[in-house]
Amino acid sequence: MTKGPSLPLLFDIPSPGSSFSDLLKTLGHTTPLELPKEPHELRAPEGTTVLALRYQEGVVMVGDRQATEGNQVAHRQIRKVFPSDMFSAVAIAGTAGLAIEMVRLFQVELEHYEKIEGSRLSLEGKAVFLARLVRNQLPMAFQGLVVVPLFAGYDQLTGRGRLYTYDVVGGRYEENDFGSTGSGASLAKSYLRSNFREALEEPSAVDLAVGALVAAAQEDTATGGPDLRRGIFPTVIVIDAEGVRELSDDEVKPAAEKAVSAIR
Amino acid sequence: MSFNFYVPAEQQVRDKAEFARKGIARGRSIAALEYDNGVLLLAENPSTALRKISEVYDRIAFAGVGRYNEFELLRKAGIRQADLMGYLYSRDDVTAQAVATAFSEALGAIFSREPKPYEVEVLVAEVGDPNRLYRVSYDGTLYDERQVAAIGGKADVLVESLRQGWTEGMSLDAALAHGQAAFATAEGRPLEGWEAAVLDRQNGRRAFRRLQVPAS
């Protein structure tokens, strides 16, 4: 009796490296899609605003919970900020379906490397690999299905939080203080630019991050702010020397209420 | 012109088995013990760089004895298989049984087809309800063990001393002390450093943790 699926042991494979996505490619699990030559109007749910900022001990990453399709709300409680391993997290904006799958592959890739090699990739190494995943999406981007992630983590080599933004062709840019991607990104960034301070403590960093998200939701209709009536709060992840920690709704609630009541 | 002399299958299998057993007997052993919150894997290993115990998946661990390059190949292939199954289906679909069966098939095929069999024995452990302990020998024979298991040169003696005094629901500290005592009894010589790891159900999704055990 065998429970669940089973596969033959992957012994003699052409590229027995430590990369999981290379393994998938070798085994033919990533069949290239046949895309039409002319771009077509294809509507799929899109994730909107996510942002990250550096504080004294690490980085905080925040994302709203709404996915929109055209002018409609597709999902009210989607998740856009994910821990990618013990010391990093990734947030996504753009075509939700592709982005969530990209995160899943990224998570498996990091864990696979860690188990095969017996040590974790450096934060820089993880960021570089994510750029490769974004670049692989380029054919889809030409069809209008764009995925742009945001990556942040605690760098154990330098002992501080670092964050990276990307562009649609897989360009990777390290940001000093804060970064944001998605439809409300410019609004969130201008809020952060005027309110960011050096050496913030964790609670004030969380307040600032949620405040920036609420500011973006005010002007950008696609971004969903905290929904106090339904009890839907932004996803908040903090990463410091202790590792990744996701705040519970009860922990996010005070920051959300403060940010909402500060709206004029 | 070359002649292929006829060698009876029985003789061939016996020779290969003897060869593999000799290779394994030269190496040190590894023990596995269930405790109240999971499974402890304990190896006598003087090296702190070359590991014999490894994480395979969320609730699954691997241990190997014999030739390092050979069990390392198996370990990596096991991780690949587990990660691939978990990615193509769901994390819940990855079981120690599937991993152990794959090891058994691979070792069985190598034993009968290759001129030189692998000189290895591997152990696949899974924490759950119930815990699972699978032992795979050099010829691909798969054993389903309970409570305690051992692989390596002194496996027979070691598993005997592990069984004596093992109790249901013992703590991790007690299990570790019991394991170390069993090694001392089985080997009857000073031991040269430990490599230890647990699959503990209180560790969250990834149950695997390495333990620092000072040399006794």
The three-state DSSP-derived secondary structure of chain A is: CCCCCCCCCCCCCCCCCCCHHHHHHHCCCCCCCCCCCCCCCCCCCEECCEEEEECCCCEEEEECCCEEECCEEEECCCCCEEEEECCEEEEEEEEHHHHHHHHHHHHHHHHHHHHHHCCCCCHHHHHHHHHHHHHHCHHHHCCCCCEEEEEEEEECCCCEEEEEEECCCCCEEEECCEEEECCCHHHHHHHHHHHCCCCCCHHHHHHHHHHHHHHHHHHCCCCCCCECCCCECCEEEEEECCEEEECCHHHHHHHHHHHHHCCC
Q: Which residues of A touch B95 (CB under 8 A)?
A: 3-4
Does A45 sit behind a cis peptide bond, omega within 30 degrees of 0 on the bond before it?
A: no
Question: Using CB atoms, which residue from B73, B74, B85 is nearest to A5?
Answer: B85
pLDDT tops 90 at residue A30: no
Catalytic residue among A2, A26, A30, A48: A48
pLDDT tens for residues A52-62? 999 999 999 99
Residues of chain A above pLDDT 90, percent: 69
At residue A25, the pLDDT reads 85
At residue A71, the pLDDT reads 86
State the DSSP code for B164. Answer: T
Residues of chain A above pLDDT 70, percent: 93
Per-residue pLDDT of chain B (216 residues; tens, 9 = 90+): 677 788 898 998 999 999 999 999 988 999 999 999 999 999 999 998 899 999 999 999 999 999 999 999 999 999 999 999 999 999 999 999 999 999 999 999 999 988 899 999 999 999 999 999 999 999 999 999 999 999 998 999 999 999 999 999 999 999 999 999 999 999 999 999 999 999 999 999 999 999 999 887
Look at B77 and A11 and tell me if their CB atoms are within 8 Å: yes
Q: How confident is the model at residue A7 (pLDDT cuts 50, 70, 90)?
A: low
Token code pair at residue B159 = 């598993």
pLDDT tops 60 at residue A147: yes
At residue A259, the pLDDT reads 93
CA dihedral A122, A123, A126, A132 (to 10 degrees): -120
Q: How confident is the model at residue A46 (pLDDT cuts 50, 70, 90)?
A: confident
* B72: closest chain A residue by CA: A116
pTM for this predicted structure = 0.92
Chain A nearest C-alpha distance from B200 (Å): 17
pLDDT tops 70 at residue A4: no
Is the ipTM higher than 0.85? The answer is yes
Look at A5 and B79 and tell me if their CB atoms are within 8 Å: no
Look at B98 and A5 and tell me if their CB atoms are within 8 Å: yes
Query: Residue type for B186, please?
Result: A
Angle, in degrees to the nearest 10, between helices B96-113 and B68-88: 140
- Specify the residue for token string 């969903």: A224
Average pLDDT, chain A: 90
Concerning whether A95 is annotated as a catalytic residue, the answer is no
Question: Using CB atoms, which residue from A6, A104, A116 is nearest to B98?
Answer: A6
Distance CA A261, CA A96 (A): 30
pLDDT tens for residues A68-117? 988 888 899 999 999 999 999 999 999 999 999 999 999 999 999 999 99
Distance CA B112, CA A224 (A): 63
